[in-house]
Amino acid sequence: RGMLALLFCGASLALAPLVGADVCKDTRMYRETPPAGQPFAFNCINLVPTSGKVLVTWYKYPSKSPISKNAQSRIHQEQNWILFLPLTQEDTGIYQCVINYTNTCHRIHVNLTALRKYWYCMSGNSQQTVSDEYQQILHAGKDESLTCYLNFPQSCILDSITWYKDCKEIKGGRFTHWGIKLSVSNISAEDGGDYACQAQLTHTGKKYTVLNSITVNIKTHGYAGRIPKIIYPKNNSIEVQLGSPLTVDCNITDARDNTNLRSWRVNDTWVDDYYNESKRIREGFESYVPFQKHIFYTVNITFSEVKMEDYGHPFICHAGVSAAYFILKLPAPDVQAYLIGGLVTLIGAAASVTYICNIFKIDIVLWYRSAFLPARTKEDGKLYDAYVLYPKPQRENQSHEVDTLVWKILPEVLERQCGYKLFIFGRDEFPGQAVANVIDENIKLCRRLIIIIVPESPSFDLLKNMSEEQIAVYNALIQDGMKIILIELEKVRDYTAMPESIQYIQQKHGAIQWSGDFTEQSQCAKTKFWKKVRYHMPPKRLPPSSSWGAKCGTPGIAH
């Protein structure tokens, strides 16, 4: 009947993943035989390849409710660990670890058997079960180490590790403590035997004792003898800023059955001892990846903050007889940063000069003309400086303004004050000439074309109000490349109503907006508006300021 029950039990266990309507992949069963009566922890996360965000849930088969996550509970889950504080024999059973990550689910089974262990030194009973993982090998004639395997989550504080051999505490001599390791130098056959390591574990204020027994065998022959290889560091220097944190890995490959001690040392002292007070520099826990013939170890050294005294001294990674160091160096001043800084300053300076030039461009050009241009303009076969083209608006007041501007103000400022010569239709043609001829002939004699624009009044249409000849002419002029000055009598908001040629000129050269009143007496060539016009007019030296009249007050820089 017992047999049947076992069969049934086995069958139901085998069927469990199928019966459960979930899609978790079952992995093989892991066997764990820890001793009862002391803390035990197991982490399943490294048993399957995972990545990204991982969710781990522990169950005790066949219960469907997860193990408690309450840290006060004797059995509870902590991060990915299941933690027994302490383990009892009743905890024996199958535990399931369900790992969920990005659409994948693994279920790991752990067959946990809590063994009743007697530590022979205390009970006087030398009968004890020693599992394989607590067997370690040392090689005669070498310097090697034993490891106290204490796998617990970070919330468990482990300290006061003591080592025993054949029931006696190990102290001094050829033995040195290195954290969870015991280093043994000049190993001899007598070093074999029963060892134990004991540690104190503190969790949420409660103290426990962990005791691991280790069977040590000494090998005298067939020692692989391979010297551990330090892949990094390579006696190199590392540039690091003063005050910054730093972590350096020591990467080592070593033969599988070598039990070399790996450690970081400074001034021939283990860093954890050298900085035992400040704990500024610490050695990290060793991690390893086993390969077929060798094991890849990584043990890092962490500087919480680099200090001046660290520079120039070697920090040495030891692995058995091998050693390699790194030296810290202050970083060289960053030449590139200076270069970039200088460049940025230059570009900034250039940009501000350009900006200032743009603001004062007109003043600078006008000043240059007045200072350096000869009084007489060069002979270019032209008779006039500008041809003035203007519409005849239908609205009374606009018509009056255009007339005032063209007939009175332009001649006053540009001709009398500045010495330019204008061609104004209706003033300068010879009597009796045909209109078309007047325009055609005289426009060729002008250096500039000034077009007066009157803004969109409903009745205003440039095309309608300019003679066809005029339009034909200025179209030709545009193609000729003669410079054109647009003067808006008022701000023109919508150029799309204008002929395309005007739109084109406006886009290419912009327009100058009239400012000031329409009294002939108050005009002065030194106002902003007239400076803009003069800037676009042909270069010309101004006549002496006496001709400017009293209207301009004291002469400005343009003189």
Ligand X SMILES: *[C@@H]1O[C@H](CO)[C@@H](O)[C@H](O)[C@H]1NC(C)=O
Q: Which residues contact 176 (CB under 8 A, 6 or more apart)?
A: 182, 183, 185
**CB 227 to ligand X: min, Å:** 11
- The residue (of 27 and 513) whose beta carbon lies closer to ligand X is 27
Residue 156: exposure state from Cβ atoms within 10 A (0-12, 13-18, ≥19): buried
Is the distance from CB of 144 to CB of 320 less than 8 angstroms? yes
**CB 352 to ligand X: min, Å:** 46
For residue 500, give the H/E element and its range: helix 500-509
**CB 55 to ligand X: min, Å:** 5
Name the phi and psi angles at 470, rounded to 5. -60, -45
C-alpha span between 443 and 473 (Å, rounded): 8
C-alpha span between 121 and 125 (Å, rounded): 7
Q: What's 508's DSSP letter?
A: H
**CB 278 to ligand X: min, Å:** 10
C-alpha span between 433 and 439 (Å, rounded): 10
Q: Residue 289 corresponds to which amino acid?
A: V
Residue 116: exposure state from Cβ atoms within 10 A (0-12, 13-18, ≥19): exposed
- The residue (of 180 and 364) whose beta carbon lies closer to ligand X is 180
- The residue (of 216 and 418) whose beta carbon lies closer to ligand X is 216
Long-range contacts of 345-354 (CB under 8 A, 24+ apart): none
Is the distance from CB of 218 to CB of 138 less than 8 angstroms? yes
Strand partners, 182: 146, 177
Provide the pairing of β-strand 262-266 with 81-84.
Answer: unpaired
C-alpha span between 412 and 519 (Å, rounded): 11
- The residue (of 325 and 387) whose beta carbon lies closer to ligand X is 325
Residue 468 is a catalytic residue: yes
Instruction: Return the residue matching tokens 């990290």.
Output: 284
**CB 309 to ligand X: min, Å:** 5
- The residue (of 54 and 365) whose beta carbon lies closer to ligand X is 54
**CB 207 to ligand X: min, Å:** 20
- The residue (of 18 and 550) whose beta carbon lies closer to ligand X is 18
Q: Which residue stretches of 71-131 are H helix? A: 120-123
Q: How far is CA 424 from CA 367, 418, 419, 429, in A?
A: 28, 16, 15, 8
**CB 2 to ligand X: min, Å:** 13
C-alpha span between 526 and 63 (Å, rounded): 98
- The residue (of 188 and 437) whose beta carbon lies closer to ligand X is 188
- The residue (of 38 and 300) whose beta carbon lies closer to ligand X is 300
- The residue (of 123 and 188) whose beta carbon lies closer to ligand X is 188
Q: How far is CA 380 from CA 180, 391, 461, 483, 538, in A?
A: 100, 29, 35, 15, 12
C-alpha span between 18 and 22 (Å, rounded): 8
**CB 251 to ligand X: min, Å:** 4
Interacting residues toward ligand X by CB under 6 A: 13, 22-24, 29, 31, 55, 57, 94, 100, 105, 111, 113, 186, 188, 232, 234-235, 247, 249, 251, 266-267, 273, 276-277, 284-285, 298, 300, 302, 309-310, 313, 323-325
C-alpha span between 502 and 348 (Å, rounded): 38
- The residue (of 191 and 412) whose beta carbon lies closer to ligand X is 191
C-alpha span between 67 and 95 (Å, rounded): 10
C-alpha span between 90 and 73 (Å, rounded): 15
**CB 300 to ligand X: min, Å:** 4
- The residue (of 277 and 380) whose beta carbon lies closer to ligand X is 277
Q: Which of 286, 468, 488, 520 is catalytic?
A: 468
Q: How many helices and strands in the chain, by DSSP H and E?
A: 11, 30
Buried b (16+ CB within 10 A) or exposed e, 499-528: bebbeebbeeeebbebeeebeeeebbbbbe
- The residue sitting closest to ligand X, measured at its beta carbon, is 284
**CB 324 to ligand X: min, Å:** 5
**CB 92 to ligand X: min, Å:** 8
Active site members: 468
